[in-house]
Structure 1
Amino acid sequence: MRQSAQLNEPSEGDSAGPGGGEASLLGPADVRRLADRLGVRPTKQLGQNFVIDPNTIRRIVASARLSPDDVVVEVGPGLGSLTLGLLDAARRVVAVEIDPVLAEALPGTIAERAPGLAGNFELVHKDALRLTELPGPAPTALVANLPYNVAVPVLLTMLERFPSLRRVLIMVQAEVADRLAAEPGGRVYGVPSVKARWYADVRRAGSIGKNVFWPAPHVESGLVALERREPPRGDVGRAEVFAVVDAAFAQRRKTLRAALGGWAGSPARAEELLRRAGVDPGARGESLGVAEYAAIAAARAAAEESKESGSS
């Protein structure tokens, strides 16, 4: 999840990137030399595991289905392994890095290993969770090896704040990938599954083994692809729908009538709203899709509007 800086020694990486362009990808010895030169050791606190396999980079870039016109934002570029691959496939890459040492070194790595593409690269030294804008044209794709400890918050934050993002491909812990891609009724279906689907269609796009990282993590990794679409309803907002989702899964063993009692004001009121939305009050949260959650939120909004108009 991290990569960077100047390399003068011969490289074991490819002389051309996945698109046949000008970027020279990083191999295992390249990554270690860069890390040694910078005095960097991957930290668990920042969720850092560096990709050391060029073939994995090619695979990620190919799975992202980028066009030459895409403006890609990458969160957690680290030493630059994925960044170099993305530069060969897209018009522009904006990398968002929180680590000050890695952020300072990455432009040098790009200049050294992709000199003809350096003008298409820009670095933003910032926490992605605090990001509100990006320089240059609006991003059209998010492709990232996300730090596993903040993967879901980063994904949802980026989708919320950058509606221009049409496609996403992220590498995350396999368990998180399963949750994001889970369908209603599945064992791991939960809050991330529903919230991701507010923004996009979601699917599992492959698995990644441990040995392509340094250091090798204790868990397998997975690729998740998202394709932006319109929200399921236009008459209710994201915040209202997410409030229903959070309430339903806070007590997931309970029926929706009971779990949504606090959100609605009482279990009886929750049952009334659920029936208005066409949802069985005896169902549980994990059986509902995002469209049904939106219908519940819309039922409450309509009831409150009716109440206000009747009292005026």
Structure 2
Amino acid sequence: MTIQGKAIAVRHVLIDEASAGQRIDNFLLRHAKGVPKSHIYRILRGGEVRVNGRRVQQTYRLLEGDEVRIPPLRVAQPTASAPAPAGKPLPVVWEDDALVVVDKPAGKAVHGGSGVSYGVIEQLRSQRPQARMLELAHRLDRETSGLLIIAKKRSALTALHDMMREGRSEKRYLTLVPGRWLNPLQHIKVPLFKYLTAEGERRVRVSAEGKPSHSVVRLVRRWRRFSLLEVELKTGRTHQIRVHLAHLGFPLCGDDKYGDFALNRQLQGEGLKRMFLHAASLRFAHPLTAAALDLHAPLPDDLQQFIDYLDAEDGPEDA
């Protein structure tokens, strides 16, 4: 995208249900892609943006029926960029008019950026052009498979964010680690600090400077060389499961950031081609109706095949 110098005349936008609850600054950033953030905040401070004829702060949350005046802006014009390909439909685990939960395949980013031209959200928008709104309620790492929630209404998105921030949802993952995990149930509470490497890559480490984080680990099965664990997230820090388990000496099998790289090469030869991490279950109250939702996604074929391989070749721990 490049700024082409094309200015759009004054616009008056009537806020519908899909946009209600959104902050005015985020609304403008979405409706004026390519305009620098600094300019968006400048026109807000200068009073050029009006809601119902009045100046508003950048933190103002839009209400259904508000009329927003957007001044002329120079916006980015697409230059030879292909639309997101529709691709194979994503498996839908649950859906209603407020949200959709899909079973994301490994290797697919949840959104475009950082060298990825498009992801799950762009694919869904391409497949559902009639949808008034589709927004990610949370994130999964690119190599993680499993359950992902997408909101179809602004009110649902806001409620889901509140629910997750307050710990009123339950997310459980399945992962495989090398070695013998001993405790049937173990709480991991160590702070995590996010930083960038010299190459600009996002990383996380255990540090007193970091944010509090809490994982609950349950032993599912053991073989002679490996342990299958279920990890429940009480907080949702970046790379939390990966860093917590690596910190205790149990890096995730196939993890290319925090894992045992020599072991990963060996596992490639044994059939495990990617990180063994799967978002297996979600439990939460529906954000609008409060109905209890208990959703599950079975292990994808590649991970289940490696479990079958361990059953056949590695044997149980007491063999």
TM-score by length of 2: 0.26
Higher relative strand content: 2
Higher relative helix content: 1
